[in-house]
Amino acid sequence: MTPTQIVDQAPPPPGTAIRVSVGGRAIAVFNLGSTLHAIDAACTHVRGPLERGRVEGTVVTCPLHGSQFDLQTGAVRRGPAAQAVKTYPVRIENGKLALEIP
Ligand code: FES
């Protein structure tokens, strides 16, 4: 079973994202209003900060060179990035972010 890590941080407000550090990993958490998504914060191209990317639907665009990733699967939708980002199950427990980190 994947251990759940509670981050001592409230979820970001709807329509925004934050970067959190969990077990040495930087993870971007997006609140799309009805759903939360968590992915590696570093773009797989040259580590652009994905939590600062623009989100349309469930796709985030890296602010550095425009790569796009699906927030649900981590898959690349548009390069120059060629490798998917990791995704992590995320939920809210007692008002805090709870992430499942393998
Ligand atoms: S660092 Fe994200 S597209 Fe280049």
Mutational test site, ligand 1, from 54, 64, 83, max ligand atoms within 8 Å of CB: 64
Task: Supply the pLDDT for residue 91.
Answer: 95
For ligand 1, atom 3, the nearest C-alpha belongs to: 65
Q: Quickly name the fold that domain 4-100 has.
A: Rieske Iron-sulfur Protein (2.102.10)
Pocket of ligand 1 (CB under 6 A): 43, 45-46, 48, 62, 64-67, 80-81
Instruction: Give this prediction's pTM.
Output: 0.95
Strand pairing partners for 22? 25
Boundaries of every domain in the chain: 4-100
Task: Supply the pLDDT for residue 1.
Answer: 66
Q: Name the stretches of the chain with pLDDT < 50.
A: none
100 CA to centre of ligand 1 in angstroms: 25
- Closest by CA to 80, choosing from 49, 54, 43, 51, is 43
Task: Supply the pLDDT for residue 2.
Answer: 73
Give the long-range contacts of residues 2-5, CB within 8 A, separation 24 or more: 2/89, 2/100, 2/101, 2/102, 3/100, 3/101, 4/93, 4/98, 4/99, 4/100, 5/98, 5/99, 5/100, 5/101
The CB-side HSE value for 7 (13 A sphere, CA atoms) comes to 25
Among the atoms of ligand 1, which is closest to the Cα of residue 80?
3
Task: Supply the pLDDT for residue 102.
Answer: 82
Alpha-carbon distance of 52 to 3, in angstroms, equals: 27
